[in-house]
Amino acid sequence: MSDPAPPVVILDKSQMAENIGAVARVMANFGLSELRLVAPRDGWPQERAWATASGADWVLEGIRVFDSVAEAVADLNTVFATTARPRETRQPVRTPREAARVLYDDRASGLGVGLLFGGERAGLETTDIALCQGIVTIPIDPRHQSLNLAQAVAINAYEWRTLVLDAPPPNFREGEPPASGALMLGMYEHLEKELDAAGFFHPPEKFRSMSQNLRVMLGRAAFTAQEAATFRGVITALSKGRGRVLARLAASRTDQSSD
């Protein structure tokens, strides 16, 4: 068996072009090649990235730029968010070693896999973490947490390559693979639109945290594409049913008022 294609690296809102180059360099060191940028602060391409890439030009030349994390992960099935501090999202938290193993198995099953990294200062937003299938936490000393972006990529890329070189037989998933990021996002947005129409998000400023909690809860179930479609059927049935109930109520009121 040839080695499975390595995970896509996604950098959210990176600031310094030098860091993008340094990330490309360590990706090449460990055999990763596909880099995606979400809303890089200074646009792309940036001349200064080439100096720090130290010859890993093919990684920089293959970069694709996206406006949002949702778009950047739309074709991927398993994406882990790398963040030092597990947030309040109740998602599985893995070490880089454990994460590499899951990504390896999923990739060997033909799924699209990726690793998401936050910007140099702000890190990742919970909204974007909620779109991922889990969290990777590098075992940083709590006394000195500031880990350089390229170092964080390097640790994960190193674990991937170490795993591939050891070449264990992949553990294939039992049954159907999980749906793509795009399919899940479509399902989430469908649900949220109907819930919003039903007045579920109350008070309105709670929309964000409530929708995140829902996404994380449902995300843990790892729906297949078929199950996501089924769930959308559920949403439609419930909301249409509510519509019918409302219509009937309205009709009966009209009947009453016409009495």
Interacting residues with a copy of itself (CB under 8 A): 22, 25-26, 28-31, 54-56, 95, 97, 138-141, 143-148, 150-151, 154-155, 158, 161-162, 165
With residue 93 as reference, give the H or E element that holds it.
strand 93-94
Two structure tokens written together for 242: 């509510």
For residue 6, the minimal CB distance to a copy of itself (Å) is 10
Nearer to a copy of itself, 5 or 238 (CB): 5
Ranges assigned E (strand) in 118-218: 134-136
For residue 31, the minimal CB distance to a copy of itself (Å) is 4
With residue 11 as reference, give the H or E element that holds it.
strand 8-12
Interstrand relation of 113-117 and 78-82 (parallel, antiparallel or unpaired): parallel
How far is the C-alpha of 156 from the C-alpha of 53, rounded, in Å? Answer: 18
Nearer to a copy of itself, 62 or 233 (CB): 62
Nearer to a copy of itself, 57 or 71 (CB): 57
Q: What's at 132, amino acid-wise?
A: C
For residue 116, the minimal CB distance to a copy of itself (Å) is 19
DSSP 8-state code for residue 186? H
For residue 137, the minimal CB distance to a copy of itself (Å) is 11
